[in-house]
Amino acid sequence: MLTLNPMNSSFNKFLTFKILILVLMISIFSTNFLFIERVDALSDSRQLVLDAWTLVNEGFYDPDKFDEIQWKRIRQKTLQKQIETSEEAYSAIEDMLRPLEDPYTRVLRPKDYELLKSSNFGSEINGVGLQLGIDDDSNKVKVVSTLGGSPAEEAGIVGGDFIEKVDGISSEELGLANTASKLRGESGTKVLVEISSESEENREIDLERRSVDLRPVRTKRLRDDSHTIGYLRITQFSESVPKKVEEALQELKEKEVEGLILDLRNNSGGLVSSGIAVADSLLSDKPVVETKDRNGIKDAITSQKETSFDGPMVTLVNKGTASASEILAGSLQDNDRSILMGEKTYGKGLIQSLKSLGENSGIAITVASYLTPKGNNIQGQGMTPDRLLDLPDATEYGSTDDKWVRNAELFLESLLEKGEVSVQHNELISEELTP
Active site residues: 323, 334, 348
Q: Is the dihedral of CA 346, 348, 354, 357 positive or negative?
A: negative
Secondary structure of residue 202 in the 3-state scheme = coil
Q: Which residues contact 242 (CB under 8 A, 6 or more apart)?
A: 274, 277, 278, 280, 281
d(CA 70, CA 97): 12
Secondary structure of residue 190 in the 3-state scheme = strand
CB 357, CB 48: distance < 8 Å? yes
The values of phi and psi at residue 387, to 5°, are: -130, 110
d(CA 52, CA 57): 8
CB 51, CB 83: distance < 8 Å? no
d(CA 422, CA 287): 17
Helices within 4-158 (DSSP H only): 6-59, 64-69, 71-79, 86-97, 110-121, 151-154
d(CA 92, CA 84): 11
What do you get for the CA distance between the two ends of the chain, in Å? 130
Cα dihedral 67, 73, 75, 80 in deg (nearest 10): -170
Q: Is the dihedral of CA 24, 30, 34, 37 positive or negative?
A: positive
What letter would DSSP give residue 198? S
The values of phi and psi at residue 50, to 5°, are: -65, -40
What letter would DSSP give residue 300? P
The DSSP string of 65-94 is HHHHHTHHHHHHHHHTS---SHHHHHHHHH
CB 154, CB 147: distance < 8 Å? no
